[in-house]
Amino acid sequence: MQLSQLRQEFVLHFGEMGSRWGINRTVGQIYALLFLADEPLCADQIVEALGFSRSNVSMGLKELQSWNLVRLRHRPDDRRDYFTTPADLWEIVRTLVAERKKREIDPTLSKLRELEMTRPAPGDEAAHARIAELRRLIETLTRFHAELEALETERLVALLNMGARLGKVAAGAGRLLPMRRKA
């Protein structure tokens, strides 16, 4: 299949960006292709469109599935897997954030907790304290993320659009509420 100029450029761009995103070029391109596709695609259609080897596409799809970034569909009388991306873009963003947190933050948080449990050797007191401080900061962010995660999209979008006005809310809160210490 020949991709249109539009699709072609979009796909190539996502391929390049893929590397900056911790996914590889192939996976980025597959995702981009699915994102624009008018209907679900099966592995062979992807091979056809992008010219990768069959196994590479298979791997790529597996990786996208492990990221929860694609959905599986089936057609009657056809046992091939067809793939789509969720129609709701906000859902995609949530998934992306959640998965990156899982891969990039959570392991570090465990490690920090583990290090914090040990008694610092002489000379390591300041370093130990710095680790604790970092751990607290990450937990604050994590808690905040969990709470946003729990909002329905409607409210989340309303919140985002409130933007700067939140600053005032926060200023009020800062004065009126006992702030959790240190943070």
Partner DNA sequence: CGCGCGTTTCAGAAATTCCTGAAACTCATT
Partner DNA sequence: AATGAGTTTCAGGAATTTCTGAAACGCGCG
Residues that bind a second copy (CB under 8 A): 4-7, 9-10, 13, 17, 20-22, 35-38, 89-90, 93, 103-104, 107-108, 111, 115, 118, 120-121, 123-124, 126-128, 130-131, 133-134, 137, 140-141, 143-144, 147, 150-151, 154-164, 166-167, 169-171, 173-174, 177, 179-180, 183
Please identify, using beta-carbon distances, which residue of 77 and 147 lies nearer to DNA: 77
Which entry of a second copy, DNA, none binds 173, CB below 5 to 8 A by partner kind? a second copy
> Residue 72 forms beta bridges with which residues?
83
Task: Select from 63, 134, 21, 99 the least CA-distant residue to 34.
Answer: 63
CB 82 within 8 A of CB 73: yes
Residue 67 touches which of a second copy, DNA, none (CB < 5 to 8 A by kind)?
none
| Token duo for residue 160 | 């985002």
What is the number of H-type helices and E-type strands within the chain?
9, 3
User: Which of DNA, a second copy, none lies near 81, with the C-beta cut-off 5 to 8 A by kind?
Assistant: DNA
Q: In the complex with a second copy, which residue's Cβ is closer, 53 or 66?
A: 66
Residues that bind DNA (CB under 7 A): 19, 24-27, 42-44, 51-56, 58-59, 61-62, 78-81
Backbone φ and ψ for 167, nearest 5 degrees, come out as -55, -40
Question: Please, which residue, 58 or 138, has the CB nearer to a second copy?
Answer: 138
Q: Which residues contact 145 (CB under 8 A, 6 or more apart)?
A: 97, 101
In this structure, are residues 35 and 85 in contact, taking their beta carbons and an 8 Å threshold?
Answer: yes
Name which of 62 and 130 has its Cβ closer to a second copy. 130
Which residues, 6+ apart, have CB-to-CB distance to 97 below 8 Å?
Answer: 145
Residue 53 vs 166, nearer CB to a second copy = 166
